[in-house]
Amino acid sequence: MLLIKTNRDTLLKPLQTVTGIVERRQTLPILSNVLIQQDDEKISFLTTDLEIQIKTIAPRDASNMQKFSLTVSAKKLQDILRSLLTNAEISLSQQDDYLYVKSGKSTFNLQILPAEDFPQIAEDSKSDTYLTLKQKEFKHLLHSVQFAVAQQDIRYYLNGLLLHIEKNKLIAVGTDGHRLAYISAILDKSFEKHEVIIPRKTVFELSKLLSDSEDSVTVEFFQNKIRFSFSEIVVTSKIIDGKFPDYNRVIPTKNSKTFNINRLEFLQALQRASILSNQSEKFRGVHLIINKDNLCIICKNNEQEEAQEELEIKYENESIDISLNITYLLDLLNNVDSETVQCAFENANSSVLITVPNNDEFKYIVMPMRI
């Protein structure tokens, strides 16, 4: 039975949108599949891992045949479509429990599983709160803090990004307990206070799918999940049930010793010095020695090898010798796009506040190391 006859990209582009969350090996085999459905108007593609669900649609081609609903291996179908020539004409047909993909003289048959067995996150119709902002603004918000989110921390509430609405401000915070990234954006209207913790996987998937455009994204908050709608894509995610740390208590307010530094020069100096850091260790330390108009960067390793870099800065306060995790500094400098960053210290034992000059929206806090 012929299901679809269309251009390769008609299927490949939406399929690529939804396959990012699919793992090839699943405890539940059907979770490796994509649910493909066609009605009179559109073809929809949906995947889930039971925590996050992505759905997108493609317009129904005039040459597409009839309504159907099936599930098939998402990665295998994607790999097959990728292997075909651009603009190749393909046909999908079903025979018993197999989907046949044909293009030219190539034929592939894939096992299908019943669509009615495919698990979906229940769709709530009415949200508690919803807001709309530009995709590029929301993408920038996520990109600015997602690198600080913990990975597989026993404190499960750190394995996600805090999204906090307060009056007309949207705040995003990521932390792993050793560093914290904070950014805020002004909304066009005021809202009641609301906060959720979005799983790390959801955050990174959204960052990939959102565009740098003026097009809007709608964010809907429900009791135990959150939904993002943009560009014919709907991402629904469960939220992490837990109490996020009070980030306001972490942000230092008394760091009086500051200097500004060119972001790219600082990044390149740290990258060179990191060559002789202990590469195999999770926490790689770097000494920052701040003297009058001079920043000295020192990295050592277990073989007693040492790298030293010096940069000119404008600094008039007392000298400070502080040790930080060099990975945390590199993460920041690779993910902000400002020309200059400002570093603020109080002493060698207090946390470091790194900001962007003349920008109160972004803050990055790093705890010192003892090495």
The pLDDT tens digits of the residues spanning 68-88 come to 999 999 999 999 999 998 889
* Same domain for 220 and 273: no
* Same domain for 243 and 134: yes
List the structure tokens of 147.
């690198």
Closest CA to 88 of 75, 97, 101, 100: 101
* Same domain for 228 and 335: no
Does pLDDT of 165 surpass 90? yes
The 10s digit of each residue's pLDDT in 304-321 is: 899 999 999 999 999 999
Query: CA–CA separation, 342 vs 55, rounded Å?
Result: 41
Query: CA–CA separation, 164 vs 60, rounded Å?
Result: 39
The 10s digit of each residue's pLDDT in 91-108 is: 999 999 999 999 999 999
Does pLDDT of 200 surpass 80? yes
Query: CA–CA separation, 28 vs 47, rounded Å?
Result: 13
Q: Sign of the CA dihedral 22, 24, 29, 34?
A: positive
The 10s digit of each residue's pLDDT in 269-292 is: 999 999 998 877 767 889 999 999
* Same domain for 261 and 199: no
Give me the helices (H) in 180-262, please. 200-209, 247-250
- Cβ–Cβ under 8 Å, residues 191 and 129: yes
Which one of 249, 270, 300 terminates a domain? 249
- Please report the pLDDT score of residue 313 as a whole number: 95
Which one of 117, 148, 164 terminates a domain? 117
* Same domain for 320 and 222: no
Query: CA–CA separation, 305 vs 315, rounded Å?
Result: 29
Could you tell me whether strands 33-38 and 42-48 are parallel, antiparallel, or unpaired per DSSP bridges?
antiparallel
* Same domain for 286 and 271: yes
* 61 inside domain: yes
What are the backbone angles phi and psi of residue 267, rounded to the nearest 5°? Answer: -60, -50
Range 2-16 average pLDDT: 90
- Please report the pLDDT score of residue 65 as a whole number: 64
Q: Which range marks the domain in which residue 354 is found?
A: 251-366
Query: CA–CA separation, 283 vs 271, rounded Å?
Result: 15
Give me the helices (H) in the chain, please. 8-18, 74-83, 135-143, 200-209, 247-250, 263-273, 326-335
Q: At what angle do helices 74-83 and 8-18 cross, to 10 degrees?
A: 140
* 158 inside domain: yes
* Same domain for 163 and 113: no
* Same domain for 346 and 259: yes
* 332 inside domain: yes
What are the backbone angles phi and psi of residue 316, rounded to the nearest 5°? Answer: -120, -5
Could you tell me whether strands 225-230 and 42-48 are parallel, antiparallel, or unpaired per DSSP bridges?
unpaired
pLDDT tier for residue 63 given thresholds of 50, 70 and 90: low
Q: Is 104 exposed, middle or buried (0-12, 13-18, 19+ CB in 10 A)?
A: exposed
* 371 inside domain: no
The 10s digit of each residue's pLDDT in 115-155 is: 999 999 887 777 778 899 999 999 999 999 999 999 988 99
Report field, pTM of the whole predicted structure over 0.85: yes
Number of domains within the chain: 3
CATH number reported for the structural domain that contains residue 188 in this entry: 3.10.150.10
List the structure tokens of 191.
């809202």
Query: CA–CA separation, 255 vs 252, rounded Å?
Result: 6
Range 13-27 average pLDDT: 88
* 346 inside domain: yes
Does pLDDT of 221 surpass 70? yes
* Same domain for 359 and 267: yes
Closest CA to 188 of 227, 127, 131, 231: 131
* 122 inside domain: no
The 10s digit of each residue's pLDDT in 179-189 is: 999 999 999 88
- Please report the pLDDT score of residue 61 as a whole number: 66
* Same domain for 224 and 283: no
- Please report the pLDDT score of residue 138 as a whole number: 96
* Same domain for 323 and 245: no
* 309 inside domain: yes
* Same domain for 276 and 236: no
Query: CA–CA separation, 326 vs 274, rounded Å?
Result: 7
* 171 inside domain: yes
- Please report the pLDDT score of residue 124 as a whole number: 75
Which one of 220, 249, 278 terminates a domain? 249
